[in-house]
Chains A and B, each alone.
Chain A
Amino acid sequence: MKANNYTVTAGSALNAVVVASLLSGTALASENQTLWPAYQPAITAQHTLAAAPTLGTSASTSTEIVVDHGTAQLANMAKLAAKIVDQSRGVDAEIGAAVEENFFDWI
């Protein structure tokens, strides 16, 4: 039997939200309350990092800006994830009570 693996999208999205949550925090606020300051991380470029020196070699210290397709791709996904995380909030208490009471009848 063939074993299918569909886990990569989930992994990518989860990674994105982990990145976003680490950047901005993800406590739950009500619609009337914000528990953290608005924070919009701007990821525009990545610098190459110096490789860890090993015996007999010298570390690269290039500061060349590297912007490749993957970087821009991840930056946009992280930006959208951070935006949604930042603005996530719970349902207003009055609406929440009405939903709790009536959802089954509405559907």
Chain B
Amino acid sequence: MLPDDIKLYLPKFLSDDDSKELQRAVSAMLAGTPRSYYTNRLTQDPILYQGDGIINLPYLELPRVEIKDVNAMVLSNTCDVDPENPRDFPQRVLYAPIMSLAKYRAGVLGTTGKTGEQVDAHLEAIRQQHITQVFYLPPYPGKMEESLVYMDRIVNIGNSNIDRATLPDQRIFTLSDFGAWLFVLKLSIHFSRVQDKVARGSD
């Protein structure tokens, strides 16, 4: 790959410092010592960012019809749900529920025959981002304990139901450059495996 081509594959909007920080975070993850996934820089922005954690969004699992309010992570692309971008028809916001890892551990331990060691090995795989449909969220001190998101439990809501004026108060976290890159990587793996080993034919 030529150097000019390489630039096509790197985020173009980052400052030199941010770009270097992203690289440090990538290197740290490779070394097994991941950095924080979160940023404080955008906390007060009235913009709903992809990967944001939001409180009190309705959650349901069809065909079950009960609804409960949960903390949830936004999967929609930032641009798609930005009201500043004109649309021919309103976009809906996709999100999936956030569950604390402690609750998840207790639930799995209480409903399976797995030992504590086996469940902890499963949780470690989640922390390493090795489980295809799960995105791991490290603890965010003062805001959120370590948690997970099952990306196959997506719900949608009308964009206008998320009030941008009060968004800073509803937001638990916004992902950093590294966190956002990793999140989209996991979304891509979950939804877009190019070689799914299925010969579909063309006839």
Q: Are B185 and A16 in contact (CB under 8 A)?
A: yes
- With contacts A10-B50, A10-B77, A12-B181 taken as known, whether A3 is within 8 angstroms of B68 at the C-beta atoms is no
- With contacts A4-B79, A21-B194, A101-B111 taken as known, whether A76 is within 8 angstroms of B23 at the C-beta atoms is yes
CA distance A64 to B190 in the complex (A): 39
Q: Tell me how many residues of B have a C-beta within 8 Å of chain A.
A: 70
CA distance A22 to B189 in the complex (A): 12
Q: Tell me how many residues of A have a C-beta within 8 Å of chain B.
A: 61
23 A-B residue pairs with CB within 8 Å: A1-B84, A3-B84, A3-B86, A4-B78, A7-B77, A12-B9, A17-B188, A21-B193, A21-B195, A25-B197, A26-B194, A26-B195, A46-B1, A68-B3, A74-B9, A77-B10, A77-B181, A79-B30, A98-B112, A102-B111, A103-B150, A103-B153, A104-B66
The interface of chain B, by Cβ under 8 A from chain A, is 1-3, 6-13, 19, 23, 26-27, 29-30, 50, 59, 61, 64, 66, 68, 70, 77-79, 82, 84-86, 97, 99, 103-104, 106-108, 111-114, 119, 122, 125, 128-134, 150, 153, 177, 180-182, 184-189, 192-197
For residue A73, which residues in chain B have a CB less than 8 angstroms away from its CB?
Answer: 6, 10, 19, 23
Is A59 at the interface (CB under 8 A from chain B)? no
For residue A83, which residues in chain B have a CB less than 8 angstroms away from its CB?
Answer: 30
Q: Are A89 and B130 in contact (CB under 8 A)?
A: yes
CA distance A18 to B114 in the complex (A): 35
Q: Are A90 and B132 in contact (CB under 8 A)?
A: yes
For residue A89, which residues in chain B have a CB less than 8 angstroms away from its CB?
Answer: 125, 130-132
Q: Are A88 and B85 in contact (CB under 8 A)?
A: no
